[in-house]
Structure 1
């Protein structure tokens, strides 16, 4: 709260009745202003809470080095700690890794005779060469004695069409990694002296990318089969003027994105199924239908079915209609079960834990919930009085105590601590407060006990879904900059390149090197799905 300026000091002999009256009035106004400021600050805090605004950042004091000589842009040493001429010792160590493309020896001017050579003092200058490099291929034409015409053939080892590998890699890198829009890319290249059109830029960005799509699609199966858990989340994704959704699947080793028209459990199961299109009725499918309370009549028809495998969606829909399973809810549960059965039948790991933010479409198999999202239910609650506020703060404290106990349990699993955490959770959920909204939130927390405390059985899984939210932010930023996609190729490429980019980052691979390697078809960088299998090491 800002301090008001003090009331000026006036000598006692000058305090006439009028002056005394004015001083009393000023003191009264100062008190009113201070009370109003307190009320304004309280209202601002309440508005920020209602709008879910972030709190004021706590900016730490700058910790810049006191010795200005250490920050020397010329590369010459001005500090007693470093006399090598290469800046600080940290910079000198970094520059040892530089690839040297040209070396020039500079001798002193007016060097006296018989001077003794002491070696070299290195001074590094880094430069970037950006200029067109155009090659004209003159294809020789000959007429044979038979009257035929022969012409020389181009080799596409260094280029594809009229544009070289490096130029194409640069365009793809700028658009998908640096998030530069197509108009800015063509403006930049035109100013640099290239003769390229908007259509050619678009061609380079989205066409003939089947080998990228194949590598991205194979990531999902490789990532799931070599993981004990995955993070999942989704976000909005407009395509061709219509709303849609982009689903993220990944963990610390890979990231995979796919855009679809709708979001549902059927859609999620179809995404996990990959390129397969079959439906299967087996024990896993029937167990799912029973758990979802499929009514007895359609369930008995499916249990007694002699046909258990269906080649595609059309065959499955024909089977349901032929057996009078036409109610929307019954069709949905049966379809989800058949898709889950196909997943298990294809070797999908049944012990894989799916970590989500409590979105219903992800609740299959072993499902774990994010503690951060569980607490957000309580953050949205607005207390009506001071007592409610104290009870809500107490619940927040208990939730975070549980969270920190679970973090400790993950580090050192211990049976007594496991029992104590479970008992603490039950005690919290049994608590009755004077705030009914808070009581209902605690009941919801109790219903999610199995998924929130799954970490007690599987200490290897994370406690939150932040990784998925961080990964999907890459897609959201690109969507905000470039807007929606229009063509199917454009949508596929956006999903593919964000998947490959995030996976390269997690595998410690330069995305520029990866793009250049794949477009030039050198394929020196290992196939990303093979890296997930642990067969080769990243370069």
Structure 2
């Protein structure tokens, strides 16, 4: 089909190629071809689904072969040098040493020292402690008894609890496999006990997770945000990620609306405020003047929770769902701006619920608008590739600007942006895509005014991939405690990794009650201030 369209264009005399009728017919042909390609793809998907339902194999996806390159042989001197570099036993803790003599030492031999050979290993054995609590009867007949150490919490010690949490949340091992593993090591534990260790008594961890978000928002210049599906108790839901290079925070909810996102950002601050920021948002969102005047005339400006806010809206006569939504968004945004710096930038993939405050768009997602275009001819493919290359070259220039910003470069890059995204090509769908991207100029070029923010949303996508992996292995959550723990330990694990803290050591430290590791929120604050 591509060659056919090219041949048609080639056979048209040059003088007729500018004819409006011929241009219109070519565009119609191009659009019909795109529809055919789409239908062909959908038809193949349906065929594969039918084959699957009939227990047959779908059409195989055969990738082109990639022959491996022959490895270059290394010289013996180079191998020995690399071997020396990899030798890391100088600071390795040695738990046991064995001195081994030769099987036969000829008489008259001279001792020439020891040649160390280190073997790394691991010992996994049950370790059970029985506390014998003394009981004494006083002369008065009362019984006094010894007390368990403060770090003892139940019949399983902190190391075993840490191991179960580490396997489940860090290594993504399912509960049945953890049970099988522990029983193979002769550890007497039941499935219910494993479930309780995973989900009960985690208030300390939940509180630390909440502190992470509040501190992260307070001391960050920007946050990356994204969401993914998260079924709970048989119903569809969503998990929202908020984070940057210092922290990661996850929260599962039933909705992914803008109200939900604002409530997550407000965290424990549940107030609804009617301030100038709230009214400005309502004006920008085109709340009717009649509804706006009702709120502006209200003597009460602060509402402590959702119930009080909804009651007030009903009392003043705001009952239409759209009007309630805009007013609620404005009141939540005002509360958020009261507790965090207004300079905070939100970097997203252009999902509508994230478009608040200063909003920056991901360039990788923006370019996908061009990459997804269906191309009907080789000539238009060349046009598309040329424009995509211009976009990526401009992206490289933005990266250079971030390292050394200047007013002169700012002006030049804005003009270069206009030149790229307002150009007119022979590919009509490409022109429409460029026009759509140009309307997002302020969000795509926010980096010119704020060079510290990233150009893409890869950080959030990489963080949320951890949650997706867990969802694929363990499925959806059932209990509220299970859902809350999944969010909490995903947040703590990713935050520990960003701060360079061992998650295993973190779990042991918190469960043992030692608390030698500084609260993660304090480390985030220190890193942000020292940046």
Same topology, TM > 0.5: yes
1:135 matched to 2:129: yes
**Number of the residue aligned with 1:495:** 487
**TM-aligned CA deviation for residue 281 of structure 1:** 1.1
**Number of the residue aligned with 1:167:** 160
- Candidates 61, 66, 69, aligned match of 2:74: 66
1:533 matched to 2:528: no
1:241 matched to 2:249: no
**TM-aligned CA deviation for residue 386 of structure 1:** 3.4
**Number of the residue aligned with 2:97:** 103
1:401 matched to 2:401: no
How high is the TM-score relative to the length of structure 1?
0.82
Q: What pairs with 1:476-515 in structure 2 (closer than 5 Å)?
A: 476-515=468-507
How high is the TM-score relative to the length of structure 2?
0.84
Q: Aligned to 1:95, what secondary structure does the other structure show?
A: coil
**TM-aligned CA deviation for residue 244 of structure 1:** 0.5
**Number of the residue aligned with 2:361:** 369
Q: Aligned to 2:228, what secondary structure does the other structure show?
A: strand
For 1:235-255, what per-residue CA distance to the aligned partner results, in whole angstroms no more than 9, with x for missing partners? 000111111100001111111
**Number of the residue aligned with 1:33:** none
**TM-aligned CA deviation for residue 429 of structure 1:** 2.5
**Number of the residue aligned with 1:178:** 171
Q: Distance in 1 between matches of 2:342 and 2:157?
A: 47
Q: 1:536 to 1:255 in 2, by over 3 A?
A: closer
Q: 1:250 to 1:535 in 2, by over 3 A?
A: closer
**TM-aligned CA deviation for residue 145 of structure 1:** 4.5
How many residue pairs get aligned? The number is: 476
Q: Distance in 2 between matches of 1:177 and 1:63?
A: 35
Q: 1:373 to 1:333 in 2, by over 3 A?
A: same
Contact 1:530-1:536 within 8 A present in 2 as well: no
**Number of the residue aligned with 2:203:** 210
Higher RCO (Cα < 8 Å, 6 or more apart): 2
Q: Which has the larger radius of gyration?
A: 1
Contact 1:280-1:345 within 8 A present in 2 as well: no
- Candidates 375, 379, 390, aligned match of 1:383: 375
**TM-aligned CA deviation for residue 363 of structure 1:** 0.3
Q: 1:98 to 1:65 in 2, by over 3 A?
A: farther
Contact 2:225-2:243 within 8 A present in 1 as well: yes
Q: Distance in 2 between matches of 1:321 and 1:380?
A: 46
**Number of the residue aligned with 1:342:** 335
Q: Distance in 1 between matches of 2:223 and 2:199?
A: 29
1:194 matched to 2:202: no
Q: Provide the aligned C-alpha RMSD in A.
A: 2.7
Q: Distance in 1 between matches of 2:482 and 2:62?
A: 35
Q: Which moved more, 1:202-211 or 1:421-430?
A: 421-430
Q: Structure 1: state its 5+ residue gaps.
A: 1-42, 72-80
Q: Distance in 2 between matches of 1:535 and 1:371?
A: 27
Contact 2:219-2:529 within 8 A present in 1 as well: no
**Number of the residue aligned with 2:84:** 89
1:274 matched to 2:267: yes
Q: Aligned to 1:391, what secondary structure does the other structure show?
A: helix
Contact 1:381-1:438 within 8 A present in 2 as well: yes
Q: Distance in 1 between matches of 2:362 and 2:529?
A: 32
Q: Which moved more, 1:116-125 or 1:515-524?
A: 116-125
Q: 1:120 to 1:503 in 2, by over 3 A?
A: same
1:325 matched to 2:318: yes
**TM-aligned CA deviation for residue 57 of structure 1:** 8.7
**TM-aligned CA deviation for residue 302 of structure 1:** 1.8
**TM-aligned CA deviation for residue 148 of structure 1:** 4.0
Q: Structure 2: state its 5+ residue gaps.
A: 1-36, 46-60
Q: Which moved more, 1:448-457 or 1:402-411?
A: 402-411
Q: Distance in 2 between matches of 1:260 and 1:508?
A: 29
Q: Distance in 2 between matches of 1:60 and 1:340?
A: 55
**TM-aligned CA deviation for residue 404 of structure 1:** 1.3
Contact 1:455-1:462 within 8 A present in 2 as well: yes
